[in-house]
Amino acid sequence: MSVSTWQAELAVDCRCTLGEGPQWDAKNQRLYWCDILGKQLHWLSPATGESSHYQLDHRVSLAAPLAEGGLLLVGEDRLSRFDPSSGSIEKWCDFEADNPITRSNDARIDRHGSLWLSSMGKSAERSAGSLYRLHRGELSRLRSGLTIPNAICFSADGEFAWFTDTVTGVVMRWELDSDGWPQGEPQPWADFFSSQGNPDGAVMDSEGCLWLALWGAGQVVRLDPNGEIVGRVELPVSQPSCPVFAGPDLKTLYITTAQEGFSAEQLAQEPTAGSLYVVETGIKGLAEPPLRLV
């Protein structure tokens, strides 16, 4: 099988400690991403090239566009409404607020306009994390005992969800019912345990393939519906964290990266680690609905 390859280039030289959670706001034509450890929400307007960030008072891992406007911030101990035009932030509900060792991690909106979101230990404590679904304003725990939940994404027809516990190296596929709730047990779908890099964030394209960041390997791989690698994006930095399709035609792939855990020597070798990267693959992404809270 031939594997297509692409080279990612620097898009925004932001040098986040832990860049994560890239999310396209189609209504406002803005890309958002987070520096979880830096407590920042970054944004880019691809049409103008303008970019900046908001400084927050807590760790946030995703800014999800809301159907009624504004964003829902997925934070370390709370979910909050955020108005990008004014910068105002208002707590909406608690999120593992009674557990001081955890913070939020990977999250993505499903085909029903509901949000799957996860938690993990701040120091990646084993089995401290959980996976949740926020459906019409109600938060339900789907799974616990996870260490670093990642790679949350969904098939176009809403029949399957994918996720991984990064430390296992295995991407799992979970069958969903007609309302988007998991059925039975998730099944192993793609195994990276013995390969270079650890599975991190993921996004689906319009052709039914999954794009998966391989943390530590400097790559994002494209996996076909059988979990086989059919494409590969090479980055000049080693810790890509999550890809997302953005732009008016959803044909531009952006990739967040990190410099978390780097020594001074590693930083000297990868000075732009933590920045936002971009690649034009010619492949269209899958449009995601805005988040519905009611």
Q: Return d(Cα 258, Cα 241) in angstroms, integer.
A: 7
Following CA atoms 194, 152, 6, 32 in sequence, which dihedral angle do they give, to the nearest 10 degrees? -140
Buried b (16+ CB within 10 A) or exposed e, 88-115: ebeebeebbeeeeebbbbbbbbbbbbbb
- Residue of 200, 205, 224, 249 marked catalytic: 200
Q: Return d(Cα 105, Cα 70) in angstroms, integer.
A: 20
For the chain, the straight-line distance linking the first and the last C-alpha, in angstroms and rounded, comes to 45
φ, ψ of residue 265 to 5 degrees: the values are -65, -45
Please indicate whether residue 249 is annotated as part of the active site.
no
Cβ neighbours around 271 below 10 Å, total: 13
Q: Which residues are catalytic?
A: 200
